[in-house]
Amino acid sequence: MPRKRSRQSIARTVALCYVRQSQTRDDTDMNSPDRQRENIRLVCEQHGWKPEWYEDVDGHKSGTKVKNRPGWLALKARMSDPDVAAIVANDLSRLHRKGWRIGDLLDFVDQFDVNLVLAAPGKQMDFATPQGRIIAQLSAIFDEWYAVDIAQRARDSIKHRKRKGITVGLPPFGTVRGDDGFLTPSSEGAWLMPDGKFQSGDKDNPPDENALWRGYYEAAERILQLYAENKHGVNGVAYQMQEEGWAFRGRYADPTPVEGDDVRRVVANWPEYGGFIAEARAKDRHPLDYPVEDIKLNPERAVFPTDLLVEVGTVRLSRTVKFSPGDRSNRGTYPYPLAGLIYCYHCEQMAAEHDNPKFRTRLGGKSGKTRRYRHRHGLKCGCTNRSVACDIVHEDFSRLLGLLTVEAQQVDLMAQLGVEAAKNQLTGAGTIDLEKEKKVAVAKCQRKIEAARHLYLEGDLSREDYEHRKEKSEREIAHWESRTAETEMIALELTLCLEAIDRIHQLWDIGDDEDRQGMARNLFSYVVYNLDTQRIVDFRLKPWADRFVSLRVSLYGDDEGKENSPRNHMFLGEGTHMPPTGFEPVFSP
């Protein structure tokens, strides 16, 4: 049916512009998004709309789904706003490749009186007419069939390539695909610089005369050789590779130090290195399901000696744990209070040095006779100790909570400091007069309600739009009327924060581990721990406690220099960092 054309008096000038590409492999695949943007831009100029861009052009963004399209979900949440005039896409298939989703979209734009415009030449449709809506539904059906057909063709192509002995997907580390589709040794690699960092480059053009070339193919061969010796597990091999200065190629061609997971990937692909084609991917294959004697390697297609690969497969199978139903323990898991919050200090430094957050490492837990927080295996960051007893960490954390607490009578002074800090941020803008601001805002909302009522009585505004505007203004009035003075508001926030910290401090030593975990996660974003010195060296509180920590330090500014001053037990760094006594400042991610 035709769309209703009741227009609001609010100026609608924004066009929600959507760009999608099904598969983006690298920067060379950006021709389609560029073309879509240009077509959409021309349409917006013709109608005088202000474009607001939403894009899904990274990786695989299928039009048959919406969960993997954050750009579309953000646009959909914006559709109902009163300033939106239109939704613009290059063609209908960019929006969806499902017939029922297109039908829902047409109903949605009808409900909010928003234009749906296609920008590609020859693709324009009038969705306000029954004929246009029928054509849109038919086009959506064909788009859906096209997506299904392409998927079937892709699966058939994969099966055909595997029958010919050609692998699919990302080539295993150290290899590339030749023109015939088979694996060949890679010529890529990285330079090991004198300072210990890796740098991408060409083998024939060293960036430094003392730089050492580390090829990825040679690195993969070295991993296989070390593993075949059966002296080390995957983590031991990773440590050895790190000491020898080998690099691993990241998914986006960036060189990084070899980790345990990287070794595991190389070892799991030993059949592919020998020319074997399996139905399942390497990460989905269990060694017990693929006995070494059943895997037939192809010496003509192998990129490494088959004898070495068979030896790797044999060692891997021997290292695979074989469980029977009676072997598994039924012991309950221990709820580590700081699980997911505590990070290694040395890894934080390495992450800052390499500008790579991937190196940040949480300390995990492992139950045993003595419960301990343990460092992640397969990565050397410079720390000597690899674990610490839970009791030591929890005692240090309790001391940190004690340093965060303040006496109740100091809250008023902290509130006063907060007001002064807020006024200082408004340099040149004058002081804050909340009562005057409140009166002006309430009067403005009341005028909005009266204006909407007048438009409704004159017939220029529908009843639904009038009620929507009235409700919105009334909510804003209620907000202003319930707003307290700034000093009271700051004092209330500080009191709540103070009570939370004091309660955690009191309950930390007497509460059970599960309660400890919940309390710590409610207050802290992360804690950085030095395994060698066995001390907390850095932390960050939740955003709602930012004001408290800043004022907590300012409160004791006049006491600096005194032996027992809390100012001497902490420092205020970026954000909400405040290490306890004797703690040195560290990298803040």
What pLDDT, in 10s, does the model give residues 387-402? 888 888 988 888 888 8
Q: Angle at the Cα of 253 (from 247 to 258), degrees rounded to 5?
A: 25
Of 409, 410, 402, 411, the C-alpha closest to 492 is 411
How far is the C-alpha of 63 from the C-alpha of 144, rounded, in Å? Answer: 9
> Considering the entire predicted model, what is its pTM?
0.54
Asked if residues 372 and 387 have their Cβ atoms less than 8 Å apart, the reply is yes
The rounded mean pLDDT for the chain is 77
How far is the C-alpha of 435 from the C-alpha of 441, rounded, in Å? Answer: 10
pLDDT band at residue 219, thresholds of 50, 70 and 90? very high
Q: Which residue's entry shows tokens 């960051």?
A: 381
Give, to the nearest 10 degrees, the angle between helix 216-228 and helix 234-244. Answer: 130
Residue 173 has pLDDT above 70, yes or no: yes
Asked if residues 46 and 17 have their Cβ atoms less than 8 Å apart, the reply is no
Per-residue pLDDT, 406: 66
* Token pair for 169: 């997907």
Per-residue pLDDT, 12: 83
Q: Strand 372-374 relative to strand 387-389: parallel, antiparallel, unpaired?
A: antiparallel
Residue 32 has pLDDT above 90, yes or no: no
What pLDDT, in 10s, does the model give residues 507-540? 887 778 888 888 888 788 889 999 899 999 888 8
Q: What percent of the chain has pLDDT over 70?
A: 76
The residue ranking higher by pLDDT, 129 or 529, is: 529
Number of Cβ within 10 Å of residue 370's Cβ equals 10
Per-residue pLDDT, 218: 93
Residues with Cβ < 8 Å from 565, sequence gap 6 or more? 556, 559
Residue 164 has pLDDT above 80, yes or no: no
What pLDDT, in 10s, does the model give residues 253-272? 788 888 888 999 999 988 88
* Token pair for 41: 């831009």
Asked if residues 273 and 216 have their Cβ atoms less than 8 Å apart, the reply is no
What pLDDT, in 10s, does the model give residues 423-435? 554 444 444 555 6
pLDDT (average), residues 45-70: 86
pLDDT band at residue 545, thresholds of 50, 70 and 90? low
* Token pair for 432: 């804050």
Q: Angle at the Cα of 460 (from 81 to 47), degrees rounded to 5?
A: 50
Residues with Cβ < 8 Å from 316, sequence gap 6 or more? 227, 267, 268, 270, 287
Of 123, 127, 129, the C-alpha closest to 143 is 123
Asked if residues 574 and 588 have their Cβ atoms less than 8 Å apart, the reply is yes
Per-residue pLDDT, 127: 81
Per-residue pLDDT, 426: 43
Asked if residues 99 and 141 have their Cβ atoms less than 8 Å apart, the reply is yes
